[in-house]
Amino acid sequence: MTFILPANFRQLPPTWEVAQPYHVDATGAVAQDADPVQWAKNHILALLLTNPGERVMRPTYGVGIYSMVWENDNPVIEQQLTAAINQGLAIWEPNITVMECEFIPQPDFSGVMDLHIAFVVGSRPSVYTLAVSMNGTTVEVIK
């Protein structure tokens, strides 16, 4: 059996992931992202925005944060969602360690709720954050 390697085989990075959003780079190839922190943020967002049962081969994948958009400010629901986020990341993203996951309500009773997740990627000592804002119609990434 013979394996044929592409001409640019030695130029491929050792680890890579398709850039989000998907696009073509200046060379005409699919754009790649080599930053593990950006990968982790994309994977956390995918887990948050996917409803359980939405993926056919992974029926338990996802948290379904869109279901929280119309919920009242209830500490029990927040604790359930925090537990689901921690459990989902532990199962599906073992390279990401959640340091802190908290909901921050806005003081003006505007119906906006911010979710802040502090995490560590692999064995890196730095703590990174991802902030998501939920209001009555959308879920928006703050940073």
Q: With 0-12 CB in 10 A as exposed, 13-18 as middle and 19+ as buried, what is 49?
A: middle
Could you tell me the CATH number of the domain that includes residue 38? 3.10.450.40
Tokens in use for 22?
């998907």
Output DSSP code: residue 137. S
**Low-confidence winner among 20-29, 33-42, 67-76, 124-133 (lowest mean pLDDT):** 67-76
* CA–CA separation, 81 and 4 (whole Å): 48
In a domain, 1, yes or no: no
Q: Could you tell me which residues are beta bridge partners of residue 113?
A: 105, 134
* Chain CA centroid to CA 60, Å: 16
Owning domain of residue 81: 16-141
One-letter amino acid identity for 4?
Answer: I
In a domain, 30, yes or no: yes
In a domain, 26, yes or no: yes
* CA–CA separation, 124 and 36 (whole Å): 10
In a domain, 10, yes or no: no
Domain count, the chain: 1
% of the chain beyond a pLDDT of 90: 18
Mean per-residue pLDDT, 47-61: 90
pLDDT digits (tens, 9 = 90+) for 76-114: 888 888 999 999 999 998 889 999 999 887 777 677 788
In a domain, 9, yes or no: no
In a domain, 27, yes or no: yes
Mean per-residue pLDDT, 45-60: 90
In a domain, 6, yes or no: no
In a domain, 7, yes or no: no
Question: pLDDT band at residue 120, thresholds of 50, 70 and 90?
Answer: very high
Query: pTM of the prediction?
Result: 0.77
Q: Give whole-number Cα distances, 103 to 9, 76, 77, in Å.
A: 45, 12, 11
